[in-house]
Amino acid sequence: MKILKYILLSITLLNFVSFSAIAFGSGVGSVVSAMFFILILFYYFVSPKPKLVTSFIVLGLAYHLIAGINYSGEIRDFYLDALKYFIFIIGIVYLAKDTTHTELGLFAFIGSMSILVNAVAFSTLYGRYGGFYINPNNAGIICLIAFSLTFNIKNTILKLGLQLLIVTAGIMTLSRYFILLLVLINVIAIISNKKNSVSLVAGSIAIVIVLTVSSIFNLNAVRFSAFQSLFGGDQIETKTITENSRNETWALYTDVILDNPVFGVGYNALHGKKNKHIDVGVGVHNTYLMAIGESGIIPFMLFIIIYLSLMFRSFKHLYTNPEYACIATILATYLLVSHNYFDNFLVLFTSIWLYQRVKYSPENQTLNTLNP
């Protein structure tokens, strides 16, 4: 069971389904995907049966049932996508419960290091790196999760060393979201315990290293120039920093959302594929807007309730488990910049992992620490 557990964690947390399709072709990707769901089903039937995550089941039912009303695409794809979602959130409940802080932190760290390897050994003309996660914006979240899980490491040298590597990897994504959330996570951690201010040292060193040896990484010139301007330029390049911002993308969907607030316009309609309702070639990049735009007000409210509840419950543990508050903040804000939710296994797994700990754990739970 241990081997199966780590295989499933690898595929889930290291994004092997999508990575295998990009790296080795769609055929290999399909095989990995099929194997993944078969293993999830097998793991579910041979493992203990903890409480189901009812909130996520209700969310999935509400979204797919309502979004399916106006769906005009290939019905097979709709059923297959829905089936994958429910297999995943039901099948990995025990896996999430059985995954320790150390294990989640280790896999998140490995994922972060794939970004660094991508930047150093497999640089590209694009100059932004995602490692196993392909998309640099998606890669930023694994670095943030890994960073959050370092706060309870008792060995200061080990903690700072890991944080230095993680922040350096995160900078390789040149993601505005990563930089903003890194600052916010540090603020939360320092509020939890002033001793966590030492983490600012790791971040500062990482920034100095990247600024000093940037030529090694072949970073995107425009984005990196804007990044440099934050720390040493005569003038901050606000135009570059705000260019193609998410609020500009969201504005493209304002009319269609306001015109269809009850039932939305159908499954996958806001994912960037032009259809009879929308003549926009880019996705909405916001899960909350995706929910209300495709399936109306009910799934939208469920998203708000679930993730606000996660944040509220997580912040109750702020002084004992600050990583909960950090991860809840990461998840709730990440949904503001991404519309791929129901097939984002990393986000789904982490949401369920956190949900189980803050919902079912007693207030006086024992502190989970990561020891070297």
- State the chain's mean pLDDT as an integer: 87
Task: Label residue 175 by pLDDT band (50, 70, 90).
Answer: confident
162 plus 188 within the same structural domain: yes
Which residue matches tokens 């109750």? 316
Query: Domain range for residue 277?
Result: 53-98+244-372
Task: Label residue 367 by pLDDT band (50, 70, 90).
Answer: very low
Highest mean pLDDT out of 169-178, 258-267, 342-351 = 342-351
254 plus 159 within the same structural domain: no
CA distances 352 to 56, 166, 320, Å, are 8, 23, 20
290 plus 332 within the same structural domain: yes
CA 206 and chain centroid, separation: 22
* 369 pLDDT more than 80: no
Among 196, 219, 240, the domain-final residue is 240
137 plus 88 within the same structural domain: no
Residue 303 contacts residue 59 (beta carbons within 8 Å): yes
183 plus 235 within the same structural domain: yes
Question: What is the pTM (predicted TM-score) of this model?
Answer: 0.90
Residues 21-71: tens digit of each pLDDT:
999 999 999 999 999 999 999 999 999 988 899 999 999 999 999 999 988
Say which residue, 229 or 122, is predicted with more confidence.
122
23 plus 58 within the same structural domain: no
Per-residue three-class SS string for the chain: CHHHHHHHHHHHHCCHHHHHHHHHCHHHHHHHHHHHHHHHHHHHHHCCCCCCCHHHHHHHHHHHHHHCCCCCCCHHHHHHHHHHHHHHHHHCHHHHHHCCHHHHHHHHHHHHHHHHHHHHHCCCCCCCCCHHHCCHHHHHHHHHHHHHCCCCECCHHHHHHHHHHHHHHHHHCCCHHHHHHHHHHHHHHHHHCHHHHHHHHHHHHHHHHHHHCHHHHCCCHHHHHHHHHCCCCCCCCHHHHHCCCHHHHHHCCHHHHHHCCCCCCCCCCCCCCCCCCCCCCCCCCCHHHHHHHHHCHHHHHHHHHHHHHHHHHHHCCCCCCHHHHHHHHHHHHHCCCCCCCCCCHHHHHHHHHHHHHHHHCCCCCCCCCECC
Say which residue, 186 or 124, is predicted with more confidence.
186
- 101-121 vs 136-148: helix crossing angle, rounded to 10: 140
255 plus 216 within the same structural domain: no
* 184 pLDDT more than 90: yes
274 plus 354 within the same structural domain: yes
- The number of distinct structural domains making up the chain is 3
